[in-house]
A and B are shown apart, each in its own frame.
Chain A
Amino acid sequence: MSTVRAGSRWIRADLRARRGQALLTVLAVAGIVAALLTAATLLEEGTNPWRGLFAQTNGAHVWAHTRDQPELGRLLALDGVARAAGPYRSAPVTVVQEGRKDPAALRAVPATPPEVSRPVIVEGQWLSTAQPDGVVVERSFARSLGLRPGEPLAMNTLSGARRVLYVRGIADTADQGFYPEWTPGLVWVLPVTLDQVEPSLGRSEWVTGLRLKDEDATQVVAQRVVVTLDEQLQRVHTWREVRAAMELDNRLLGTLLALFGVVGLVAAALALANAAGGRVLGQLRDLATLKSLGFTRRQVALLLIVEHGALGLLGIGLGTVGGLGVTMAVFGSTSLAPLPVVAIAGGTALVVLAAVGLPAWRGGRTPPIPAAPAAPPRGHLSRLARLALLVRLPPALVLGTRDAFTRRLPAFLTVFGLAVPMMMITIGLGVWATLDNFLKNPAQVGQTASLIVKKGKLTPAEAELFVSRDPDVRHAYPGSTVNALAPGEARSVRVRAIGTSTERYPFPVAEGRMYTRPGEAVAGQGLLDLLGVRIGDRVRLTVGGSPLIVRIVGRAVEPDLDGEVLSLGLDSLAAKDSVPPGFYALHLREGADPDEVRARLLAASGEGLEVQRVVNPAERLTILRVVIVALIAVLALIGLANLLTASALGLRDHASDLAVLKAMGLTPRQVTATLVTATGLLVVLGVFLGTALGALFVRGLIDLQGHASGVGAGIGRAPQPVTLGLAVLAAVGAALAVALIPARRAARVPVTAR
């Protein structure tokens, strides 16, 4: 107890004396913890919004779409089925919004929200018989259309009739993935409304959701549903596909954040060790005094651990609150489970304690004679300094170069502590450059075509005529997309046929070669992984009952559908699937504005054509840029913490030399230059080392991530040399500016002050 009182006095006094540095330490740790927590959230439950939504909406595990109303009793009688949602009648419509046409499904549900798969209203209200023309729109669809409650929703039915309904509410659901990755968009209406909009039962289908007793039985139940409904069945999807559709982007984001977080943690640990070590070195005399007063070795070590550890723990606390706050704000109440939070906070705490443990132990071993010299152990000229002397550099530079390495371990910690954040910043810039590259060269991610045209109300010949007549269209590739059943997998994969094997669509082939004849295809990494095949293998798929046997001759960069896509020429598909083509992929002339062409085509065809812009994956990943900026800020904080330590330590070590230097005739400016050189040299080394390492690793890391997410290797780009140069200049410049202030102050102290 007595030591606690005495120790707490000392800690309080010490923290008061170095508020800025302490604050920086706290902020750096807090930033890292917040990044780690956000990463974990993005990687796990939180971002995978599906889990939260599924629990909240009491979602259904299996969804069956049938031509006629199924007998619910037969489905409920299936082993493993607990309850059901529906069957609901559903009719396809095209939502027409400001010249844009989006496919949607109107689903008739009762005015009392269903028990199973109950949509969660996020804005407005649920359907009501009081407002028969009111609809509730699924949230991602509403966001894509820019809809708010109260606004009109104009739609064309299959028969061509035009209807206007009004948005009554916006709701979340786990029934299907987010629009536009998952089409059609979902709109809930009352049954009476659907009867008015689409009276024809022949143009609609029935949707039934089944909630299972055990989610692991999904595969079995889905197969039983297929057998039970047999001919009636149009398609089945399960919660696994919904989840996969929802998590794609976030996984990429989460992996990036996790990488930054973990490396940042290492950097923060280094910064902490450096700060604590530097502080201990600066306090050797005070520590010796404490020991002469009766503090034992262990008590001094404990004191230091408590002081420096407390800063870290405070940072962890702040970071946890901040991280949870961010995830709450972004993802709503469905946040992270307590276990990962505890694991991250606990893990970081251990790292923090380990980082401050060593300097604290060293501090405890200080001999108790306060007069013991704490001067730097080595005073000889380093090789660099001798070199500097040899080339007749100004004396300030030589002296500074000598000073930079008088303490080897802190010098190393400073260089390393700056190199790690700089490496991560370079990697962040590389991710940025990769995104820019996606935008600038969409062809490299398989988006040579920037518009997809469907014939709409026109005949294929008319559609072809319109697109070929447009002056900005360089090439119109006919194409079709079909779903194929993969052998041994109870799920389908996408087969995308564009162009032919002679007139090939320029898929970006990263490995192997492009297909050259019918029966050859290229695949995304995700598909290769899914089927467990390699380039050169033959695969057998089933398209609409008929077999499709192709040889995979190459791997294409594939940003869609986790890379689970097979790309081939139309002539590799059976005629029933390829004639007429389902769409035309338009390769525009260099510099042509896709929106302009789209407007022109719509006008020329009298809105007969359906023209869609291709969404660049970089547009979906815009949030990555925000994340990169935030991370760079945290990393810069860590670098700054290291720098302040280095600068403080340098000043302390050389304070006594300064008087001598001045007595020898160095001007204050030269003294300042000496001090700045001592710190600056380490900074320059660290920054260059970090940039070089980052530039070396960035492409490999992004490609690794690309491989893991199914997109495939071959997308990574290193930052532009100009960007890197600017980053290096900014880092070194900021560092020198920070080092300059204390150096100038020190240089102004008169010679006789000590």
Chain B
Amino acid sequence: MSVVLKAVNLVKVYTDSGVPVHAVRGVDLEIEAGEFVAIMGPSGSGKSTLIHMLGGLDARTSGEIWLDGRRVDTLSESGWALLRRRKVGFVFQNFNLVANMTVADNVELPALLAGASPREARERREDLLARLNLTERADAPPGQLSGGEQQRVALARALANRPSLLLADEPTGNLDSRNTRDVLRLLGEVHRDGQTIVMVTHDARVAALADRVVSLLDGEIVDDGRIPRRRPATGTAGEVIDLR
């Protein structure tokens, strides 16, 4: 399988208040196409910083990042922005829907930005919202949606451009257990369709959904292991969680 994302000796040092803080200390990571990787760790372990660097939201201090075989860590902020339009989708803990825009506009925005015609953008949005059971909420402002619904819209928005890589930063962090289950089920479905996903979480049960779990502690990878593939869900209520 081809490597979608590769990080080589990735380092991030914050020097905000004069004192250097090593958030990420030399991470090496390779993620193959179609993989679903969970990055786990306690708070302050540098997992959010890592995923922000992988998506170009935060600049790395040193090291290399390769996306689809192309070195991208040297890109400017604008270069990263252009890259994100086509290749990277983001889902955040706080959903981050644009409050003034309707659900439909939120989902269409990335497609329009990537150069789709309004008609294409609308068709893609209708398709995505239908898959996520949100067709009826298309014209509502995000503020009227529940947390789970908002996160599903955010997921639809991240998938609008069929990105090579979906980065999810604590996507279930603000959700109750039922909504968490819904969102995870959707992520699983997307993954089964071949989507490469990197997800940050501190919740072992959530991480268990992934193919592979990378554990981070104080900015370093302390464990990187694959979860043996279970049988496909049989449709019974509540999946059996395999605690390692």
A: which residues have CB within 8 A of B?
Answer: 1-3, 5-6, 9-10, 13-14, 16-17, 285-286, 288-299, 367-371
Contacts and interface: CB of A to CB of B under 8 A. Distances in A.
Given A294-B81, A294-B84, A298-B78, A10 B109 contact: yes
Interface of B: 52, 55-58, 77-78, 81-86, 90, 92-94, 96-102, 105, 108-110, 112-116, 118, 157
B96 A294 contact: no
Nearest to A298: B78
Given A5-B118, A9-B105, A9-B108, A294 B113 contact: yes
B115 A1 contact: yes
Given A2-B112, A3-B113, A296 B98 contact: no
Contact of A2 (B52, B96, B116): B116
B105 to A, nearest CB: 5
A517 B185 CA distance: 108
Given A5-B112, A368-B56, 9 more contacts: A2-B116, A6-B113, A9-B101, A10-B101, A286-B98, A292-B92, A294-B83, A370-B94, A371-B94
Given A2-B113, A294-B85, A296-B81, A285 B101 contact: no
B96 A289 contact: yes
Contact of A285 (B82, B96, B113): B96
A13 B93 CA distance: 23
13 contacts: A9-B105, A10-B100, A14-B100, A17-B99, A292-B90, A293-B113, A294-B83, A294-B113, A295-B113, A297-B81, A368-B81, A370-B94, A371-B93
A371 B105 CA distance: 21
Contacts of A370: 92, 94, 96
A367 B80 CA distance: 13
List 9 A-B pairs, minimum CB-CB distance, nearest first.
Answer: A294-B85, A296-B78, A2-B115, A17-B100, A6-B112, A13-B101, A6-B113, A13-B100, A296-B81
B110 A10 contact: no
Contacts, number: 91
A9 B109 contact: yes
A295 B57 CA distance: 12
B78 A293 contact: no
Nearest to A288: B96
A293 B100 contact: no
A10 B108 CA distance: 11
A368 B76 CA distance: 13
A391 B222 CA distance: 57
A2 B157 CA distance: 16
Most buried by B among A1, A288, A294, A298: A294
A286 B85 CA distance: 16
Most buried by A among B98, B105, B115: B98
A9 B112 contact: yes
A478 B113 CA distance: 87
Contacts of B108: 9
Contact of A294 (B82, B101, B105, B118): B82
Given A5-B118, A13-B105, A290 B57 contact: no
A369 B58 CA distance: 7
B114 A2 contact: yes
Contacts of A285: 96
Contacts of A299: 81
Contacts of A3: 113
A702 to B, nearest CB: 48
Given A10-B98, A286-B99, A291 B109 contact: no
B100 A294 contact: no
B82 A296 contact: yes
A367 B37 CA distance: 26
Nearest to B161: A294
Nearest to A370: B96
B184 to A, nearest CB: 21
A292 B88 CA distance: 9
A292 B84 CA distance: 7
Contacts of B92: 292, 370-371
